[in-house]
Structure 1
């Protein structure tokens, strides 16, 4: 006869084994992303999740059951996932009558309608973070060429699908690496977009939340631009 305490341990061990097997059996989500990275869509089993970012901190968040080429977000909102060439999906309300209903899931300055592309290999959120962190590790160890190569590969693979805030941060990293490698022209090229004073002014006037996100990136880009311009002048 098994003692009650031993039986409890056995049941707990069996439950953990079942949960571990279930986790292993669950396929990873299939993910999609918009150009410029403002929208992310994922499917896992018969469920979908969609997050779209608008301006000034506004966003759309929808999730629910997937039924073939449609999704039910609840509250009467149904989405259409229309297949396009290249594995892309045209995403939007399932009918014009759904537009006002589905708007309830969005902030005033956000929308989710658009074309969603299959996420390129190495460009999921977790993969991008891992690649950027690996480059930072190289950079801190003084391996500037390796860091520049890692970040350059990340930009080449994922660049079209990065949100502007992530793209500017990555450009700043790459610019600093280029500076340490004595490549001032490359450094200046990477810094110019994030150092755009007109964009900063526009955000300050129309989207203060975005302005607060942009400001430290802008300052870093301006600093890099100045240092690399001085480096270029010293080489002449």
Structure 2
């Protein structure tokens, strides 16, 4: 290799090594219960950025936490010079795991019961919020027509496919509806079995005050149906 070609080779090697190829796929990833999200986008100059809005326990949040991604390393924008929050993004198909590398620096962006760390997923089409709402409407129409087996099938499919994307209130509300379809099919023992897994029936379950307030209405309905099906 002559001296000129060698210099060109060195120049391009340095250039390529200095350019970080993203290991994270652009998209909107939802946290468990669909109450938190991570949005990954690549801007017009090829820079990949993230925006995180996380809801933790009792209404604590990490609000509008933004930054850049190089490879699989995330750096939160440090406009107030509070210390650099560093994250690692690990892609596994439609699942995105976020880990905190600098704990104290990242804590400043979140309430006490919220954290940037977690597992987030791009939902399948059947598990978007709109799709879930439509399936629950379809269930209600069948239930009102006393087509209980068809109504049961919709809820079983929804729970099997979209369990991760249902918040705790929606999850127990769907299980409560499922229990009723079983009761109307003369299967009270299965009704009890389904309701056993709900928060309302679990005597060891604890909800923070804000979550407990959100849960009160469905809790009353579940306890009523628990007794209806013969629970003690």
Q: Deviations over 1:99-140 (max 9, x none)?
A: 334323322111120222332341122222222222223223
Separation of aligned partners in 1, 2:183 and 2:228:
8
Shift of 1:70: 4.8
| Alignment correspondent of 1:108 | 112
**SS of the residue aligned with 2:99?**
strand
Matched, 1:152 2:142: no
| Alignment correspondent of 2:121 | 117
Contact 2:50–2:69, Cα closer than 8 Å, also in 1? no
Mark the CA change 1:192 to 1:48 in structure 2 (over 3 Å): closer, same or farther. same
Mark the CA change 1:199 to 1:169 in structure 2 (over 3 Å): closer, same or farther. farther
Shift of 1:88: 2.5
**Which structure 2 segments of 5+ residues have no match?**
1-25, 44-48
Shift of 1:33: 3.3
**SS of the residue aligned with 2:203?**
helix
Shift of 1:196: 2.4
| Alignment correspondent of 2:59 | 57
Shift of 1:91: 0.9
TM-score (norm 2): 0.69
Separation of aligned partners in 2, 1:122 and 1:129:
10
**SS of the residue aligned with 1:188?**
helix
Shift of 1:44: 4.6
Contact 1:79–1:91, Cα closer than 8 Å, also in 2? no
**Which structure 1 segments of 5+ residues have no match?**
1-28, 231-236
Alignment of 1:67-146 (within 5 A): 67-68=69-70, 69-71=72-74, 73-76=76-79, 78=85, 80-93=87-100, 95-96=101-102, 99-146=103-150
Separation of aligned partners in 1, 2:144 and 2:175:
17
Name the stretch that deviates more: 183-192 or 74-83.
Answer: 74-83
Shift of 1:73: 4.7
Which structure has the highest helix share of the two? 1
Mark the CA change 1:44 to 1:176 in structure 2 (over 3 Å): closer, same or farther. farther
| Alignment correspondent of 1:30 | 27
Name the stretch that deviates more: 220-229 or 42-51.
Answer: 42-51
**SS of the residue aligned with 1:229?**
coil
Shift of 1:36: 5.8
Mark the CA change 1:141 to 1:197 in structure 2 (over 3 Å): closer, same or farther. same
Contact 1:75–1:101, Cα closer than 8 Å, also in 2? no
Contact 1:70–1:78, Cα closer than 8 Å, also in 2? no
**SS of the residue aligned with 1:111?**
coil
Contact 2:73–2:88, Cα closer than 8 Å, also in 1? yes
**SS of the residue aligned with 1:92?**
strand
